[in-house]
Amino acid sequence: MIRGNLLLLLGFAEDDPKMASVRWRRFKRQLGKDGFSVDWLAVKLPYCDDSSSASAKAFCEFRVLRHARRLAGQLAEGRNATAKTIVLASIPTLDPLYVGAMLKRLCGSSIQLILEVRDVYARPELFEYNGLRRRLEVFKETMLIRPVDKVIYLTDEIRRRYCTYYPHLAAVCNGVVITNGYDPEEYGPCPSAESNGTLLEIGYFGSFYASRNPELLFQTLSRLRSNSPRQAAGTRIHIWGEARHYPLEEKIRVYNLRDIVVYHGLCPHESLMKQYTGTAVNLIITHTAGSSYALPGKLFEYVGAQRPVWAITDDRILRDFITRHRLGYLSSHDPGSIEETLRAILRDHASAGRLPNITAPPDYEIGSLTRELETFLFDG
């Protein structure tokens, strides 16, 4: 017996390696076990670059509207009109919400439209749109969010901001926080945090862009190589992810770190499971400025793998989380702080039993989060 129907309109494919896709693959699997029917549709509408002319932008917005209407019409024709369907759209980008709002308009009360807000979209801290584009995106978000019935936020801070942006929308203000989580079944037996007596293996999983890059870490490793060659020789930094515009391999060569830093490139998420648990410590690097409202998705992968976390960050929300749950080590975006922390990790690794034993907080286990999700989506 089907307990409920859920249509996911997401801005990424089901096999996408991004954490946002991993999150919903886990939810879909858990909901399927509980008797819910879940369908997934990746929504990509035409995009117009900021550098385009005004006429090109206007034409592109017309194409976006036309595509959204067409896709919503196809979804409306293909569904059972007598069965109530919950449609969940996730932003960023606005594309899934665009189609979801159109579908809600076509199908009326037989559709319940849920919005997931994973990031601050139209008013970003880090990458500001130009003035015209910013006003357009804020306007579109304001119009498209009105038919939303319920809202899910990734963090309390994102919820606070959206309640400030839309204080008169009950759905926005009554939304709940259902954050990222981990699935313990994906990681296998709990690994030991004991020293292996040889190399200190540190893993980094994620892409580099803008000020989220390993420059200060590489400078620290270069100094360690000069001042403490034995410790440097016993350290390995493994990097999985996309370098994007950061010249990663060139920087490894410039800082003479080819025997210390190993770049593995991109890898499917399922293949990374063993890598998460095969390190002594796993690393997070955040932007030097901005993004003070979200926790990195990879944090919960590290928690699920029960490996100590080393975060190079000044973001309060991340520092508070790691401190509260005793997840490992913290450095600020300062060369002295990074070097001090790295030496502390090396000392702990050299002494058996000194690396922290991480206990994964049960509140962030995917089963617990799915119960919250089911209650919010399907009750009432």
Q: Are the beta carbons of 50 and 57 closer than 8 angstroms?
A: no
Name the average pLDDT for the chain. 88
What pLDDT is attached to residue 291? 59
**Would you give the DSSP letter of residue 93?**
S
Q: Which residues pair with 5 in a beta bridge?
A: 37
Tokens of 63: 């194409």
User: CA-to-CA distance for 159 and 24, rounded, in angstroms?
Assistant: 20
State residue 328's pLDDT score: 95
Contact 211, 289 (CB under 8 A): yes
Q: Is the dihedral of CA 98, 102, 105, 109 positive or negative?
A: negative
The mean pLDDT of 250-267, rounded to a whole number, is: 94
User: Does pLDDT of 79 surpass 50?
Assistant: yes
pLDDT tens column, 138-165:
899 999 999 999 999 999 989 999 999 9
Averaged over 73-85, what is the pLDDT? 78
Share of residues in the chain with pLDDT > 90 (%): 61
- Residue limits of CATH 3.40.50.2000 in the chain: 4-181+365-378, 185-362
User: Yes or no: is domain 185-362 CATH 3.50.30.30?
Assistant: no
- For residue 346, pLDDT over 60 is answered with yes
pLDDT (tens digit per residue) in 202-220: 999 988 988 889 999 999 9
Mean pLDDT of 98-103: 94
| Residue 195 pLDDT > 50 | no
* Local confidence band at 375 (pLDDT 50, 70, 90 cut-offs): very high
Best CA proximity match to 378, nearest among 108, 90, 4, 8:
4
For the chain, percent of residues with pLDDT exceeding 70? 92
Query: Taking 80 as the threshold, does the pLDDT of residue 59 lie above it?
Result: yes
Taking the C-alpha atoms of residue 83 and residue 85, their distance in angstroms, rounded to an integer, is 6
CATH topology of domain 4-181+365-378: Rossmann fold (3.40.50)
The pTM assigned to this predicted structure is 0.86
How crowded is residue 361: how many other Cβ atoms within 10 Å of its Cβ? 16
pLDDT at 252 over 90: yes
Tokens in use for 303? 């928690």
d(CA 177, CA 175): 7
